[in-house]
């Protein structure tokens, strides 16, 4: 057995008695060789156990066939689900997906984004969770080839895939109102963020429809983390009037709220209804099962990847904005307020006489 030197294109060419050019073209299917020649090359490849070197290809082709997935933390089920869908989609096109946890730090986001300039990444799916002061926008505009997912980076010249945030806020709030709630709190992420703003618009619109108005004491902006949900609950409970329901604009916030209600011995949904936003895996098994606005997480990842791939192929423009639909998933964390006679009950009375 010969020395264990790495087999290259050249070796194959020599063994098959053709030029490296021919082998390269054949391997990449960019040529139709006479059957006899093709077979000679193939057999040489098999015999030598040749494997094209990806690094050399990358340099020569000016591409690495790897896309980045930049997010706060892949450890969170919501992001992980998006990453999974994105991976599935990019893999179909022969790309790989590299994940980067920014932990919501701008410097890390910038570092990861810069890998596009390096030529280490062909492009990236980008998710952030804080308000941008323009830094992110500039970085994205500078390196290009990124699509912004789920949360906006205002001013960035990049395709965006969002959820229909306003509709989400709207239908969730309508549901609460239909259940008879009047004192509804809004617990959200950072005030300046697009998701917060849009969901808040939906919230306000639904209140308006019912002739209600937003009570500033019942609105809490924070960050998209569990602890922020717990704090919001505590703040609300210290306040002058307790809400009978809370619309949390993230499951993580809802979970924080649920945790805090337990500590405070508040019964959900009897004393407090809670709606989440995202509908992550297994939210139906919580106690109580979480009613939530479902974002089509899979669709978000899949379409984000698709658009990024199209962008790289030049068949998509940087001004596309897609909205994936939302849907309200009814579960046990919402009930009529204990002190109120909700419309549902009124209807029952009207329709069926004595309720039993």
Partner DNA sequence: CTGAAAGCGCTTACAG
- Which residues contribute to the site for a second copy (CB under 8 A)? 51-56, 58-59, 62, 64, 66, 73-77, 79-81, 83-85, 87-88, 91, 96-101, 114-115, 117-120, 255, 258-259, 281-282, 285-289
What is the token pair recorded at 319?
């001004």
| Whole-number Å distance between alpha carbons of 306 and 329 | 27
| Whole-number Å distance between alpha carbons of 159 and 161 | 7
Residue 31 interacts with DNA (CB under 7 A): yes or no = yes
Residue 8 interacts with DNA (CB under 7 A): yes or no = yes
Residue 57 interacts with DNA (CB under 7 A): yes or no = yes
Among DNA, a second copy, none, what does residue 201 contact (CB within 5–8 Å per kind)? Answer: none
> Closest approach of Cβ 120 to DNA, in Å?
12
Among a second copy, DNA, none, what does residue 1 contact (CB within 5–8 Å per kind)? Answer: none
Residue 314 interacts with DNA (CB under 7 A): yes or no = no
Among DNA, a second copy, none, what does residue 21 contact (CB within 5–8 Å per kind)? Answer: DNA
Contact (CB, 8 A) for 334 and 177: no
Residue 56 interacts with DNA (CB under 7 A): yes or no = yes
| Whole-number Å distance between alpha carbons of 66 and 72 | 19
> Closest approach of Cβ 174 to DNA, in Å?
55
| Whole-number Å distance between alpha carbons of 59 and 313 | 18
Among 228, 289, 233, 227, CA closest to 266: 233
Among DNA, a second copy, none, what does residue 9 contact (CB within 5–8 Å per kind)? Answer: DNA
> Closest approach of Cβ 3 to a second copy, in Å?
17
> Closest approach of Cβ 53 to DNA, in Å?
4
> Closest approach of Cβ 20 to DNA, in Å?
5
Among 321, 323, 309, CA closest to 159: 321
DSSP string, 243-283: -SEEEESSHHHHHHHHHHHHHTT--TTTT-EEEEEE--TTG
Residue 2 interacts with DNA (CB under 7 A): yes or no = no
Contacts of 102 (CB under 8 A, 6+ apart): 70, 71, 72, 73, 108, 109, 112, 128
| Whole-number Å distance between alpha carbons of 116 and 98 | 12
| Whole-number Å distance between alpha carbons of 252 and 72 | 13
For the four alpha carbons of 335, 339, 343 and 349, in that order, the dihedral sign comes to: positive
Residue 19 interacts with DNA (CB under 7 A): yes or no = yes
Closer by beta carbon to DNA, 120 or else 318: 120
Cα three-residue angle 91-92-97, rounded to 5 degrees: 20
Among DNA, a second copy, none, what does residue 215 contact (CB within 5–8 Å per kind)? Answer: none
Among DNA, a second copy, none, what does residue 114 contact (CB within 5–8 Å per kind)? Answer: a second copy
Closer by beta carbon to DNA, 43 or else 135: 43
> Closest approach of Cβ 288 to a second copy, in Å?
7
Q: Which of 14, 24, 101, 114 binds DNA (CB under 7 A)?
A: 24
Residue 114 interacts with DNA (CB under 7 A): yes or no = no
Q: Which of 14, 33, 98, 178 binds DNA (CB under 7 A)?
A: 33
Is 96 exposed, middle or buried, given 0-12, 13-18 or 19+ CB atoms closer than 10 A? middle
| Whole-number Å distance between alpha carbons of 27 and 60 | 15
Backbone angles phi, psi at 322, to 5 degrees: -110, 150
Residue 60 interacts with DNA (CB under 7 A): yes or no = yes
Closer by beta carbon to DNA, 313 or else 350: 313
Positions touching DNA (CB under 7 A) are: 6-10, 18-22, 24-25, 27-28, 30-31, 33-34, 37, 50-53, 55-57, 59-62
């Amino acid at each position: 057995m010969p020395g264990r030197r790495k087999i290259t294109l050249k070796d194959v060419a020599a063994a098959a008695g053709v030029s490296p050019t021919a082998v390269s073209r054949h391997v990449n299917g960019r040529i139709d060789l006479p059957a006899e020649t093709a077979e000679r090359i193939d057999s040489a490849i098999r015999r030598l156990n040749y494997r094209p070197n990806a690094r050399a290809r990358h340099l020569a082709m000016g591409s690495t066939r790897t896309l980045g997935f930049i997010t706060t933390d892949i450890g969170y089920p919501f992001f992980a689900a998006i990453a999974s869908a994105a991976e599935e989609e990019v893999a179909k096109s022969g790309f790989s997906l590299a994940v980067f946890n920014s932990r919501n730090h701008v410097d890390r986001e910038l570092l990861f984004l810069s890998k596009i300039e390096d030529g280490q990444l062909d492009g990236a799916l980008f998710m952030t969770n804080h308000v941008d002061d323009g830094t992110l926008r500039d970085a994205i505009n500078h390196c290009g080839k990124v699509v912004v997912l789920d949360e906006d980076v205002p001013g960035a010249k990049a395709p965006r895939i969002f959820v229909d945030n306003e509709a989400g806020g709207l239908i969730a709030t309508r549901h609460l109102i239909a259940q008879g709630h009047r004192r509804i709190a809004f617990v959200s992420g950072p005030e300046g963020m697009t998701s917060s703003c849009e969901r808040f618009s939906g919230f306000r619109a639904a209140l308006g429809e019912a002739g209600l108005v937003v009570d500033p004491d019942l609105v809490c902006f924070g960050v998209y983390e569990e602890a922020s949900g717990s704090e919001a609950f505590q703040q609300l409970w210290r306040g002058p009037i307790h809400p009978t329901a809370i619309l949390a604009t993230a499951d993580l916030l809802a979970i924080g709220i649920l945790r805090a209600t337990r500590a405070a011995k508040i019964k959900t949904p009897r004393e407090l209804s809670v709606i989440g936003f995202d509908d992550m895996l297994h939210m139906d098994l919580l106690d109580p099962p979480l009613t939530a606005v479902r974002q089509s997480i899979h669709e978000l990842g899949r379409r984000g990847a698709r658009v990024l791939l199209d962008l790289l192929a030049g068949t998509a423009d940087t001004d596309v904005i897609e909205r994936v639909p939302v849907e309200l998933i009814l579960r046990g964390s919402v009930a009529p307020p204990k002190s109120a006679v909700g419309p549902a009950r009124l209807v029952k009375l009207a329709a069926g006489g004595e309720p039993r």
